[in-house]
Amino acid sequence: MGPQMLRRLFWMLGGLLFTAGLFGWYDRLVFGHLHANYGTVVPWGLGVTFYVYFIGLSAGAFLVSSLVYVFEMKQFERIGRLAVFTALVTLVIALLSIWPDIGHMDRVWHIFAYPNIKSPMAVITWLYAAYFVLLLCELWFLLRRDLITGASAPGLQGTLCGLLALGSRDVSGDSALRDRRVVKALATVGIVMAIMFHGGVGTLFGVVAARPHWHSALYPLHFLLVALVSGGALLVFASSIFAEGWKRNGETVRALGRIVLGLLLLDLLFQLSEWLIAFRGGIPSHTASLSLILGGPFWWIFWIWQGLLGTGVPLLLLVLPTRHDPRWVALAGLLIATGYFGLRLNIVIPGLAIEEIAGLSEAIASSRMAPSYFPSVSESLLGAWVVGFGLLLFGIGERLLPLVPKEEGYGRV
Partner 1 sequence: MNPETSGVTDRRGLLQRLLQVGATALAGAIGAILALSNNSVRAADGTVRRKYRYGMVIDTRRCVGCRACVVACKAENKTPPGVAYTVVVEQAFGTRADDKPLFMTKPCFHCESPPCVDVCPVSATFKREQDGIVVVDYNRCIGCRYCITACPYGARFFDFGEHYPAVAEGTPYAQVPSPEYGQFRKREPDESPIGNVRKCTFCLHLQDSEGRYDKAAGRWPACVKTCTGHAMFFGDFNDPESEVSRLLRERQAVRLKEELGTEPNVYYLL
- Smallest gap from Cβ 290 to partner 1, in A, equals 18
Q: Which is nearer to partner 1, 166 or 210 (CB)?
A: 210
Q: 72 by DSSP, 3-state: which?
A: coil
User: By C-beta, is 31 or 275 nearer to partner 1?
Assistant: 31
Q: Do 229 and 267 touch, CB atoms closer than 8 A? A: yes
Question: C-beta of 117: minimal distance to partner 1 in Å?
Answer: 7
CA distances from 94 to 18, 327, 360 (A): 15, 28, 32
Q: How far is the CB of 295 from partner 1 (least distance, A)?
A: 24
- Buried b / exposed e across 98-133, counting CB within 10 Å, b at 16+? bebbeeeeeeeeebeeeeeeeebebbbbebbeebee
Q: Cα separation of 57 and 227, whole Å? A: 6
Q: Which is nearer to partner 1, 30 or 166 (CB)?
A: 30
CB 54 within 8 A of CB 90: yes
In this structure, are residues 89 and 396 in contact, taking their beta carbons and an 8 Å threshold?
no
Integer distance in angstroms from the first to the last C-alpha of the chain?
A: 40
Q: Are 157 and 400 in contact (CB under 8 A)?
A: yes
Distance CA(46)–CA(56), nearest Å, equals: 15
Of residues 3 and 206, the one with the C-beta less far from partner 1: 206
Of 339, 330, 340, the residue nearest 56 (C-alpha):
340
CB of 217 to partner 1, least distance (A): 16
* Nearer to partner 1 among residue 107 and residue 247 (C-beta): 107
Chain residues in the site for partner 1 (CB under 8 A): 31-34, 36, 38-41, 43-44, 101-104, 107-108, 110-111, 113-122, 125, 204, 207-211, 352, 355-360, 362-364, 366-369
Enter the DSSP assignment of 296. Answer: S
Return the axis-axis angle of helices 218-241 and 326-352, rounded to nearest 10°: 150
CB of 59 to partner 1, least distance (A): 20
Closest to partner 1 by CB, 28 or 81? 28
CA–CA separation, 238 vs 261, rounded Å?
A: 17
Q: What is the Cα–Cα distance from 389 to 386, expressed in whole angstroms?
A: 5
Q: Is 36 helix (H, G, I), strand (E, B) or coil?
A: coil
Instruction: Tell the smallest beta-carbon distance from residue 119 to partner 1 (Å).
Output: 5
CB of 275 to partner 1, least distance (A): 22
Q: Least distance to partner 1 from the beta carbon of 34, Å?
A: 5
Cβ closer to partner 1: 5 or 283? 283
- How far apart (Å, rounded) are the C-alpha atoms in residues 171 and 184? 19
Question: What is the spatial distance between Cα 147 and Cα 153, in angstroms, rounded to a whole number?
Answer: 10
Q: Between residues 65 and 216, which has the closer beta carbon with respect to partner 1?
A: 216
Q: Minimum distance between the CB of residue 207 and partner 1, rounded to whole angstroms?
A: 7
Residue closer to partner 1 by CB (options 166, 365) is 365
